[in-house]
Structure 1
Amino acid sequence: MVRRDRSFAALNTIGLPPEVSFRRPERPVMQPVTLEDGATKIMTDLDRVAALTTYPDASLHEAEQRMISGGVRLLLVTDAEEQVVGVITATDILGEKPVTFLQRYGGKREELRVADVMTPHADLQALRLHDVEHGRVGDVVATLRQAGRQHALVVDDSQGAPRIRGIISSTQIARQLGHPVEGDGRAHSFAELEAALVAAPA
């Protein structure tokens, strides 16, 4: 039963100040790491940071702008039910994939969609959260090197339906190890990153 013996007082209001901005969540501070540190230190935890997504029919320009505004280089590609159907990276957009697609199928670059250059679900590999929690930064570096990839998805399959829990980026690893990244935020080629990691402190 709802009690009706309490009265509520309206809160004071103010006019919205001119030139007002708005708060954004602070980006997690990237702590320095060594190759011997726990691998979770270089994982973007999607329990704490919202994943940025796009749709298969979004234009490449829209996907690129979403990456720029979010300060990321990878978007999860989802369907209408928010099921992950692939990923798209800045390299997919800015590299050879658009050129190759146009050479094969024709058309104009502005007509290209995310689905044309993304890595589809069937071609994706992921790490298990359990293994990342018990692994080291150096183990993840070795995994990325073996796969020849700049990113890795981390899946939590410990409780019911598996979900993507984290994203690991070679660019973030380089930054946390204290190695410079190109001014526009682009990752080194993995060969360059690997060479830098050889000299990283243990």
Structure 2
Amino acid sequence: MPLTSRFKPLPLSSMTTAPELPKVQRMALPHDAALSLLTDLHHSACVVAQPHDGLDQTLHLMLRAGVRMVFVAGVDGELVGMVTAEDIQGERPVVRASSHMVSRRELTVADVMVPVTQWDTVDLSAVRTARLGDIAETMHEHGLRYLLVTQAKHGKTVLRGLFSASRLEMAMNTTIEPDLHSRSFAELEMVLAH
């Protein structure tokens, strides 16, 4: 059945003067439902880089897509990690290049990404009853800029969505600083080893 037989076009108006931009009615509050600021990956396209992509190439991809984090997938499409603009522009490439005695230009996304095995995630079932304040506190306590949300589906774990600290900070008019006291000795040891 043709699409036109089930729907009808809406009437259009011509603009004689420039419209005003809407004013924000209210900011998000800590007691608001967490789902209100979840980026649901069922409805949002994921930006994906490859492990062998160069750092500048990946940063350019982020800029074009208007994001500060991309997922990393292998040639088979399976997720292998994620990388943020901070990972690319921060100290991680400098340390990695120095320890491997290569130039920064020789580094790839695989050299600076956070592998899947190091991701901290929360299940969607917990998010459904959580408030924005719970999400902000989780990110603060664990020093996260992104909180990944997973869901069990047909016996598999599916990446369902994510929370961005930047988005929460803007919406709630607050800052989410990492709790430096929550760092484990294992994390400290890992940093010192590199």
Give the alignment's TM-score, normalised by structure 2: 0.75
* Structure number with higher helix proportion: 2
Q: How far 1:80 moved relative to its partner? A: 1.6
C-alpha displacement of 1:189: 7.0
Q: Give, in angstroms, the shift of residue 99 of structure 1.
A: 0.6
Partner in structure 2 of residue 93 of structure 1: 88
Deviation of the 1:159 alpha carbon: 3.8
* Residue of 62, 68, 71 corresponding to 1:67: 62
Match runs of 1:9-158 below 5 Å:
32-158=27-153
Q: Which runs of 4+ in 1 moved over 3 A?
A: none
Question: How far apart in 1 are the matches of 2:46 and 2:113?
Answer: 17
Which residue among 172, 175, 181 is the counterpart of 1:177? 172
Q: How far 1:158 moved relative to its partner?
A: 4.2
How many residue pairs are counted as aligned between the two chains?
155
* Mapped partners of 1:189, 1:109: distance in 2: 30
Please report the TM-score for the alignment, with normalisation by the length of structure 1.
0.72
CA distance in 2, matches of 1:37, 1:128: 18
Q: Is the 8 A contact 2:169 2:176 kept in 1?
A: no
Equivalent pair of 2:139/2:176 in contact (CA under 8 Å): no
What is the SS of the residue equivalent to 1:162?
strand
- Measured on the aligned residues, the alpha-carbon RMSD in Å equals 2.0
CA positional deviation for 1:152: 1.0
